[in-house]
Amino acid sequence: MTHPRRHLVSILVLAAFASALAWFPAAPALGQERTVKIAGLGAMSGVIRGFGINSKAVFDMTVDELNKAGGIKLADGSKARIVTTFVDERCNAEEGISVVRKLASEDWLVVIGPTCSNVAEPLFGILQQKVGAAGDSGLQFPIFTDTAIKPGLAKISEWAFRNVPHEPTMYNHLFKWLKEKHPDVRTMAGGVESDFAHSNSNAGTMEAAAKAAGLELLGWEKWLLTDTEFSTQVGKWRRSKPDLIAISSHPFTLCGTLREMKRQGVKPKVLVGLTSSATLETMVGCGPEAEGLIIPTGFAPVTPEAKRVAKVVTERYKGNVDIHSAAVFENLQVLKRVIETSGVEAKPGTVAQDRRRIRDGLAKIKEFDGLLGKVKRLDDRESQKPYVFAVAKTSDWAVLHDPR
């Protein structure tokens, strides 16, 4: 019995030695592992934390998938793993600027974010306005926005890029389509959450689109983001009996308004909502009351890839893919393409050059595959995204019309 045991011990020692030898040459390779550093920026605290949570869920999911698929190919042919961080801008301009300055002082190559337009606008203002402009000491740091939706913000700096839906295009089309489908709709009344930048600016978009479609505007009722009672505003709609009511507000006050409409028996022929309310939040908050609400949206699970991404993010990353967070998936795919084709080296000494390469690469892209189809890139670094008209149906969103 002693001989076999001695043999066994010898074999084990040899095996251990062999595996150590096999591992040893790999050790330097681990030390030299190449990384590409991409930062996420979103509202992760405060009352609109939900937007940041969803963006981060999609961000984490996409990065995990890209890394599992081998990472990103660099200029020298080696593969780099994506390393990330996701920082909180709290929907506060000072906070957003502060965290981006910090990221820029480190070796992060590009930022995806922020959530809020009131952060994006001043944030883009601290970037260099024109690439290579002498005397412009603004940050030379590419930012690729997924959520902040206020129209026209990318114009502020040539380092700012956005992949957000173009609301005027969507609403112009929606109102024109509605007028064709419902020729008896002649008058419109609006409701707006007047103390929130996006809903307030979108009310103007809705109004212009409705007028262009030939509707007569009866007026706007206003409320605030934190209001909970809408009987006065809805009471005015009850009296004016508009054919169409357009509500430019986020889910919390949208639900309160819809509930009050039900109480007072206000039933317009057509009900239109704000892009940011085409979310699960609205269905959870007031699905039955929202029945029939129509919203144009840049995301719906209508393609195989969109369905897959929505499922994975919900089940494994505890977030929701919606009109805003869907862009994070697209932005990361675009960044992979740009990094692989623009000569990014991802070395400690090439951070500034790599940022410039990414910026220039993003500026050159004229089209890419989005979750709903081809996304066109405009000269002002904005996107023109495919969209659908969604309708609330039995406490869920369904596609009412697909103009793609």
Query: What is the binding site for another protein (CB under 8 A)?
Result: 45-50, 53, 194, 222-229, 231-232, 235, 239, 251-252, 255-256, 259, 262-264, 281, 284-286, 289
- Other beta carbons within 10 angstroms of residue 246's beta carbon come to 30
Nearest in space to 389 (alpha carbons), one of 283, 289, 271, 304: 271
Q: Is 346 strand, coil or helix?
A: coil
- Tell me the Ramachandran region of residue 214: left when phi exceeds 0, alpha when psi lies from -120 to 50, beta otherwise: left
Q: Which amino acid is at 74?
A: L
> Least distance from C-beta 280 to another protein, angstroms?
9
- Other beta carbons within 10 angstroms of residue 327's beta carbon come to 31
- Compare residues 286 and 327 and give the one whose CB is closer to another protein: 286
In the block, tokens 């979750």 appear at: 371
- Compare residues 252 and 389 and give the one whose CB is closer to another protein: 252
CA distance 358 to 335: 8
- Compare residues 109 and 310 and give the one whose CB is closer to another protein: 310
With 0-12 / 13-18 / 19 or more C-beta atoms within 10 angstroms meaning exposed / middle / buried, residue 271 is: buried
- Compare residues 201 and 341 and give the one whose CB is closer to another protein: 201
CA distance 284 to 307: 20
> Least distance from C-beta 241 to another protein, angstroms?
14
- Compare residues 223 and 397 and give the one whose CB is closer to another protein: 223
> Least distance from C-beta 257 to another protein, angstroms?
11
Concatenate the DSSP letters of all residues of 284-307 into one string.
HHHTTTTTTEEEEES--S-SHHHH
> Least distance from C-beta 342 to another protein, angstroms?
36
- Compare residues 194 and 350 and give the one whose CB is closer to another protein: 194
> Least distance from C-beta 226 to another protein, angstroms?
5
> Least distance from C-beta 224 to another protein, angstroms?
6
